[in-house]
Structure 1
């Protein structure tokens, strides 16, 4: 049921647009930027690490030791992201949604300064610390930003605003790919500027963020600030209090109902039987997003293009082209999530991703024996990126805001974000070995994982499009079965 306050779909006020822009530019884009920025200048940064260790400790690193150090530099970002996701629940409830976003901005800015200063300081430790801090910042971003954006809009804008975080991440990855080209910032003299350049975006966010309204639902349900809740709603909607009587009453009624449930924590949510399936779905969708192999597909992108006859430089540009497709589909998802049901998008996306992964495995496996299979692999890879972006890419980031009410929402989003980062870490640790052992067949486990996710969503995911989170909890398994029989769109 959509509340009566949801008749202002076309009204996007300046405070809403400012909040969307600030969180997109200052939090989501930097998170994506730091995912992709480390790849292109890899050899240059490894050489810096090698020389620095020799100069400071008079010790020459073997190739194996250098690879271990590099793996630590890369993986410490994911460790920071996992910790940032876990603490996002505490930050979001203790300091507010805006306060948590400001904390992630501060951590990101500090990391940017350390990145830029590390060559002058001749410090590998500074580089590692910066990667950890920016991981913390990114973990807070994926945990808190979708929560903030979906809490300040009406139900019908919840999908498009929730997609802004993954859209920013996609754009950040693409931006890092472009700026990382050798003739731009991916050189020996400029790699540290490349790593810290996102700090400019963070500064813009920190300058504007204090002037944005806090989440009305947080103010009333968590802080019990009725006047602050009303003031925030009037700013966000651009209307006087008299014109928001219904929405204010609905917000307060929902908040009173949730406050009667008491304070929620991660431990309480883990123990809750009534919300168990909601939590399983959130964690499965977040973890399943990474276990679908998105990072593995992009890892293979340059070799796939080279096998089709492109040289190394052209293959890099083609890989950037795949990143463009990823971003454009993420942008398309902002429209799709405002028009189509979550179940339909997720089931369609997961099913087609399975087909693409199997096609990719077969085409790469037979590439040497059958020349035209290289072109099949290109089509399979680009198709994967397209279908992944329709549902599996964006929806897991904000689905917790549609399955949980305000009370358990921060804990639910924190655990979901942890599942995402944890699965990311698992893929990062196992894929290189798996790829060395079985090559192209390493895509089969990703396809298998996505099949299980599809089956789970088919059986248990209720439709959340236009439904108040308080009503989602009452949807039974029988109603989900009826949704399976109804039209998917």
Structure 2
């Protein structure tokens, strides 16, 4: 009789599968879409900015003012992401995980309407404001979706479902690249529609997500509603015997009762969370500072300098986006098989190697005729490596290495590092590229290498472990087993919690 739940636990039920798809499509997809959507129509939008300025002032903007205005339009998105990350803790603690995702749709539907109407209204300010709002939407969704799915999933599916948000980010990037082809919506008439499409997934999520359960962990630990938590678990698992899992959540609740809500300040002060916090900062910083956004923001220039014809660049960029989606699909299936730690080590190592070879290839491309092809191969290899580990795994690890009371604060820290690093790379890389030329990827290579070394030395494997078992690993690393529980997040747990 004991074996039945264990076998069933491995099953992906319809309710859990649909909740995952709706949450990821409605939220994560938009993050990816808005990262890439502004690249293709850039020239048409700059013309619109200048034309609007002329209609108001009877004069055109100078080149510096136009470039500055465009930089602000691009960088408002990661800045909004940073603002969104700071809102994660208060929102998920007050509205719940599902409630926050539903509330977050405001930050997508409103800017979608504004961007769609900006040309008719003759206002580039509407675009800049909208980029800030969709950035807030992305900042919230990039933190809340992995948290929500990580808390819905049984431990044996947590890694796979935790990678799904990243999969939808890559699909969003690819869809934006396809819609942004000059033959489709990257035109003088089409760009407002291209920008406004982001509201469609949000509207679908607003209609469908209310029919799915809230996180059982949130319902039991924070809302103290045992009946609602049990009902949600039964719907998610597809069977009635959810006793062992409820018991595990209860024990997590008891362990944390002395702690209460963990603020960001308390997160940094708590000794039993030291290595978890350092790991989040290193992995999130490594994820963004390793150069992935330099590849996406400036892929066109890299391909042009690698010798691709100007008219063919857009198709090569779409091809790169397709490779990214394909490798993230692979990550969904292998994260439980190979483990989080292995994928991080493999991914960052591949990125490090690609950066080293790309530096040599770009330095030699004027002297050796076939070097441009090596450059393109390096970019594709880099995208493959990043899609396997550095892109999807850090958010999964934040969910797994923190318990309920500290998880929102951990996502706020991780999200802030993520978006500030993203903003920094977007702002600084063009200047680095001018200053260092072919050697700009050396910096990213060094960051990949340092992150690989840190992962090898510090980050433990978390696959197929309960949140409590993972926390016990870090309790030993942080050397806090003798510290009084009211000062720390978790004491050692009895072995009865294992193997459920």
Task: State the TM bucket, normalised to the shorter chain.
Answer: over 0.9
Q: Measure, in 1, the Cα distance between the counterparts of 2:165 and 2:82.
A: 17
> Does structure 1 residue 278 correspond to structure 2 residue 313?
no
Instruction: Give SS of 1:156's match.
Output: coil
Asked if structure 2 preserves the Cα contact closer than 8 Å seen for 1:5 and 1:247, the reply is: no
Q: Give the alignment of 1:448-467 within 5 angstroms.
A: 448-467=446-465
> Does structure 1 residue 52 correspond to structure 2 residue 52?
yes
Q: Measure, in 2, the Cα distance between the counterparts of 1:6 and 1:409.
A: 27
Q: Measure, in 2, the Cα distance between the counterparts of 1:370 and 1:356.
A: 18
- The aligned residue for residue 395 of structure 2 is 397
Asked if structure 1 preserves the Cα contact closer than 8 Å seen for 2:272 and 2:474, the reply is: no
- The aligned residue for residue 414 of structure 2 is 416
Report the CA distance shift for 1:454/1:81 in structure 2 as closer, same or farther (over 3 A).
same
Q: Give the alignment of 1:71-82 within 5 angstroms.
A: 71-82=71-82
- The aligned residue for residue 484 of structure 1 is none
> Does structure 1 residue 160 correspond to structure 2 residue 181?
no
Q: Give the alignment of 1:470-485 within 5 angstroms.
A: 470-475=468-473
Report the CA distance shift for 1:4/1:413 in structure 2 as closer, same or farther (over 3 A).
farther
Q: Give the alignment of 1:279-428 within 5 angstroms.
A: 279-306=277-304, 310-428=308-426
Q: Measure, in 2, the Cα distance between the counterparts of 1:294 and 1:429.
A: 14
- The aligned residue for residue 142 of structure 1 is 142
Q: Measure, in 1, the Cα distance between the counterparts of 2:160 and 2:401.
A: 16
Asked if structure 1 preserves the Cα contact closer than 8 Å seen for 2:9 and 2:237, the reply is: no
- The aligned residue for residue 90 of structure 2 is 90
Instruction: Give SS of 2:157's match.
Output: helix
Q: Measure, in 1, the Cα distance between the counterparts of 2:98 and 2:302.
A: 43
> Does structure 1 residue 102 correspond to structure 2 residue 102?
yes
Asked if structure 2 preserves the Cα contact closer than 8 Å seen for 1:460 and 1:477, the reply is: no
Q: CA deviation at 1:302?
A: 3.1
- The aligned residue for residue 188 of structure 2 is 188
- The aligned residue for residue 486 of structure 1 is none
TM-score w.r.t. length of structure 1 = 0.94
Asked if structure 2 preserves the Cα contact closer than 8 Å seen for 1:275 and 1:473, the reply is: no
Instruction: Give SS of 1:339's match.
Output: helix
Asked if structure 2 preserves the Cα contact closer than 8 Å seen for 1:219 and 1:229, the reply is: yes
Aligned CA-pair RMSD: 1.8
- The aligned residue for residue 235 of structure 1 is 235
**Number of aligned positions between the proteins:** 476
- The aligned residue for residue 23 of structure 1 is 23
Asked if structure 1 preserves the Cα contact closer than 8 Å seen for 2:356 and 2:441, the reply is: yes
- The aligned residue for residue 211 of structure 2 is 211
Unaligned runs of 5+ in 2: 479-500
Query: What is the CA deviation profile of residues 90-140 of structure 1, one whole-angstrom value per residue up to 9, with x for unaligned ones?
Result: 111110001111122121111101110111111111111111100000000
Asked if structure 1 preserves the Cα contact closer than 8 Å seen for 2:166 and 2:391, the reply is: yes
Q: Measure, in 2, the Cα distance between the counterparts of 1:408 and 1:128.
A: 34
Report the CA distance shift for 1:222/1:476 in structure 2 as closer, same or farther (over 3 A).
closer
Q: CA deviation at 1:309?
A: 5.0
Q: Measure, in 2, the Cα distance between the counterparts of 1:95 and 1:476.
A: 29
Asked if structure 2 preserves the Cα contact closer than 8 Å seen for 1:5 and 1:154, the reply is: no
Q: CA deviation at 1:256?
A: 2.4
Query: What is the CA deviation profile of residues 261-306 of structure 1, one whole-angstrom value per residue up to 9, with x for unaligned ones?
Result: 2121222112212101101111211111111101222345334544
Q: Measure, in 1, the Cα distance between the counterparts of 2:232 and 2:165.
A: 22
Unaligned runs of 5+ in 1: 481-489
Q: Measure, in 2, the Cα distance between the counterparts of 1:187 and 1:279.
A: 45
Q: CA deviation at 1:60?
A: 2.5
Asked if structure 1 preserves the Cα contact closer than 8 Å seen for 2:234 and 2:242, the reply is: yes
Asked if structure 1 preserves the Cα contact closer than 8 Å seen for 2:36 and 2:296, the reply is: no
TM-score w.r.t. length of structure 2 = 0.92
